[in-house]
Amino acid sequence: MPKRSEEMLTDVWTSLLLVWITCVPYTSMTPIISQSKSLQTGSTALLRGLVEGQRILSRAKRGWVWNQMFVLEEFSGPDPILVGRLHTDLDVGSTPIKYVLAGEGAGTIFAINEITGDIHAMKRLDREEKAEYTLTAQVTNRDTDQPLEPPSEFIIKVQDINDNPPQFVEGPYRASVPEMSQVGTSVTRVTATDADDPVYGNSAKLVYSILEGQPYFSIDPNTAIIKIALHGMDREMREEYLVVIQAKDMGGHMGGLSGTTTVTVTLTDVNDNPPKFSKSLYEFVIPEDLGIGKPGGKVKANDRDIGENAKSTYNIIDGDERDVFEITTDAQTQEGILRLKKPLNFETKKSYTLKVEAANIRFDPNSGAPFKDTATVKIAVEDSDEPPVFSKPTFVLQVDENAPINTVVGTVTARDPDVTGSLVRYFIDRHTDLERQFNVNVDDGKITLAKPLDRETDMWHNITVTATEIRNHSQISRAIVAIRVLDINDNAPEFATEYEAFLCENGKPGQVIQTVSAVDKDDPIQGHYFEYRLIPEMLNNPNFTIKNNGDNSISVLAKHDTFRRQKQEMYFLPIIVTDNGNPPMSSTNTLTIRVCGCSREGIVQSCNVEAYVLPIGLSMGALIAILACIILLLVIVVLFVTLRRHKNKPLIIKDDEDVRENIIRYDDEGGGEEDTEAFDIATLQNPDGINGYLPRKDIKPDLQFMPRQSGGPNGVDVDELKYSVHHLSH
């Protein structure tokens, strides 16, 4: 009976399990806020159970009853918040199971009850930091820690709440829009961001509005585009606006969070204002001696615009028929500056009335606005004491060279332009006439010569003449006087250079020896023409003749071919050169002609007479070498002879037997003239004499040239020497 009861109980549980697997495979069992759905996942496995000690094998469908869980962010309380509960179909109460949690935040952020499977959040969560966590759950045997199921993955999502206000990350903003823009003109666009979840609820749904800046601007609540809301916004009235923009989440409903930013809107200038003169009439007084280009007055037209739109240009449109004035624009101050283009003359015109116009440089021709203004300018010319004025700024005068002193070169004139008309005095600026070659009459301005002029030295003379008022010496004017010196024929022509011609001995008759040209320091208007001729003594010259080349030059020709250097080495040919001046001038110039030895080709090789006697074919270098060898041989011979003679010269006796010393030691008087004639002292100095033979007075003439006996030095007989010494001592 007990066994039967156990079998029936087993069948009942098996039947219930099959019905549950068949009928309720996707039933939601998650107990969190009753909102979340859990997708049942199961697997077929053997049901292991022990019923009263018996093991019954059967297939059972079981799995986790969750897939996704939710937890509310920023939730805080005294106890951990319950996120959800894990449950497996193995948890039937009889099996000792344990729930194990792993993955992101397991054990730190999330904790699980090992027995019940309850999951709690241990910390306060922020969705903006991390929106979801992926974890892994597994069921193990509590006793053996053996896994009963494979691990299963699930997600815990942090559910958003509206805890972040909108923020304008790029703010504050600056924008610009042209003035006078139409209503609805786009100015700029702002952008706010919300860190809340944009797909859950309205926490991140933003609506834009203007808190400050109306009625000038408006904003689209959805696109956040700021637009012009007022017509006729003029920059000249107000240039800058501060607009405060608000962004509110929760679709703008009450309870939403908001953030603000500022937008500084600047109206840019457009050329909508014409220039305007500050007054319609300007009056100036300008001295008549004002320099050319100097400013005489300033006018200004003001423009309320700025930048390029405010720039104007000025023009004289009436009253300046003589083109005396001009007006320019100062780029810095935008003023019109009136300047002189021509000198003023109080005596001619004392006042001017001008009409000046100022016009914008940039303007819209289709706008119909004038963008210009006019004003009247009256100018009064003030009389000034002006310096004298020359009749010409530059005087050009002429004078003949070699003209006599005090010759009048010309006259300069000047006058005082003032009404009073002061007398004028003239002077030469000596810095321009350092040699004082000219004088000027102080009263009438006549310029005369102080020194004779030479055109060949200076063709032009530039001097400066000053004119001074007698009444006011500080009023001085200057004029340049250019004096040209006219040429007269006072220079004779001469050879262009010192010619030296060379004539070959083997030349042919009619050979051109030299081409001769002439120069003349004068400069006739009709040009130079020179006439060449030989002097009268050379008209019948047997050696040379001249030929006119027709270009102010001549050719000198040889008449024969018998020129020889031995006969005459050099010829002189006087030539007369005459110009075509009035009167004609002439000079005699001498051409030097050398006779030279030439090669067959006519190339000059030598022009010296000594060179002619040299052997043909020997160069000058070879001749010098031969001469050097000869001199060297002569030197060697002279040295040899000198050394040989020096070798034969006897040595002077310097011992105690020296005859001269013996003579000096003895102080006895001699025997007079007889002893003196007994011997010659030269014998002692040179026993050999000339060529070894010296006449002796103590030996008879017939015995003078007997052969020398041996035994004495240098052939001197010892007995004879002793005899002489003995005879001398007595």
Q: What is the pLDDT of residues 558-606, one digit of tens each?
A: 888 888 888 888 888 899 999 887 788 889 998 898 988 888 777 887 8
Classify residue 686: in a domain, yes or no: no
Position 680 scores a pLDDT of 52
Are 145 and 208 part of one and the same domain? Answer: no
Are 245 and 295 part of one and the same domain? Answer: no
Residue 29 has pLDDT above 70, yes or no: no
Are 254 and 210 part of one and the same domain? Answer: yes
Are 137 and 225 part of one and the same domain? Answer: no
Classify residue 665: in a domain, yes or no: no
Position 367 scores a pLDDT of 55
Of 318, 349, 382, the position where a domain reaches its end is 382
pLDDT tens readout for residues 104-148? 888 888 888 888 888 888 888 888 788 889 889 888 888 888 888
- Joined tokens for residue 271: 């050329």
Q: Calculate mean pLDDT across residues 286-293.
A: 89
Query: What CA–CA distances, in Å, run from 473 to 390, 415, 687?
Result: 16, 14, 114
Classify residue 35: in a domain, yes or no: no
Residue 315 has pLDDT above 60, yes or no: yes
pLDDT confidence tier of residue 689, bands split at 50, 70 and 90: very low
Classify residue 308: in a domain, yes or no: yes
Are 504 and 590 part of one and the same domain? Answer: yes
Are 212 and 249 part of one and the same domain? Answer: yes
Are 95 and 119 part of one and the same domain? Answer: yes
Pairing of β 500-504 and β 414-415: unpaired
Q: Which of 62-76, 248-262, 390-404 has the lowest mean pLDDT?
A: 62-76
Classify residue 309: in a domain, yes or no: yes
Position 18 scores a pLDDT of 43
Residue 685 has pLDDT above 60, yes or no: no
Helices (H), ranges, 391-524:
none
Domain that holds residue 196: 167-268
Residue 225 has pLDDT above 50, yes or no: yes
Position 618 scores a pLDDT of 54
pLDDT confidence tier of residue 609, bands split at 50, 70 and 90: low
Residue 313 has pLDDT above 70, yes or no: yes
pLDDT tens readout for residues 457-502? 888 999 999 999 888 888 899 999 999 998 887 788 888 888 888 8
Position 718 scores a pLDDT of 41
Residue 4 has pLDDT above 70, yes or no: no
Strand order in the sheet with 217-219: 186-189, 225-228, 217-219
pLDDT tens readout for residues 632-655? 999 999 998 988 887 665 555 444
Are 402 and 377 part of one and the same domain? Answer: no
Domain holding 563: CATH number? 2.60.40.60
Classify residue 312: in a domain, yes or no: yes
Q: Of 621 and 48, which is predicted with more confidence?
A: 621
Are 102 and 198 part of one and the same domain? Answer: no
Position 369 scores a pLDDT of 62
Classify residue 708: in a domain, yes or no: no
pLDDT confidence tier of residue 610, bands split at 50, 70 and 90: low
- Joined tokens for residue 101: 């949690």
Q: Which of 1-15, 195-209, 236-250 has the lowest mean pLDDT?
A: 1-15
What is the number of structural domains in the chain? 5
Are 542 and 464 part of one and the same domain? Answer: no
Of 218, 243, 268, the position where a domain reaches its end is 268
Q: Which of 89-98, 326-335, 451-460, 510-519 has the lowest mean pLDDT?
A: 89-98
Classify residue 25: in a domain, yes or no: no
Annotate 477-509 with b (16+ C-beta within 10 A) or e (fewer): bebbbebebebbbebbbebeeebebebbbebee
State which H helix or E strand residue 350 sits in. Answer: none
pLDDT confidence tier of residue 380, bands split at 50, 70 and 90: very high
Position 671 scores a pLDDT of 52
Complete DSSP assignment for 182-214: PTT-EEEE---B--S-TTSTTTT--EEEEEEST
Query: What CA–CA distances, in Å, run from 572 to 235, 532, 568?
Result: 106, 16, 11
Are 506 and 525 part of one and the same domain? Answer: yes
Are 503 and 596 part of one and the same domain? Answer: yes
Query: What CA–CA distances, in Å, run from 12 to 8, 15, 17?
Result: 6, 5, 9
CA atoms within 13 A on the CB side of 147: 8
Position 59 scores a pLDDT of 39
Distance separating alpha carbons of residues 658 and 458, to the nearest angstrom: 94
Of 331, 355, 382, the position where a domain reaches its end is 382
Q: Calculate mean pLDDT across residues 376-393.
A: 88
Residue 41 has pLDDT above 50, yes or no: no
Position 46 scores a pLDDT of 25
Position 439 scores a pLDDT of 95
Q: Of 62 and 652, which is predicted with more confidence?
A: 652
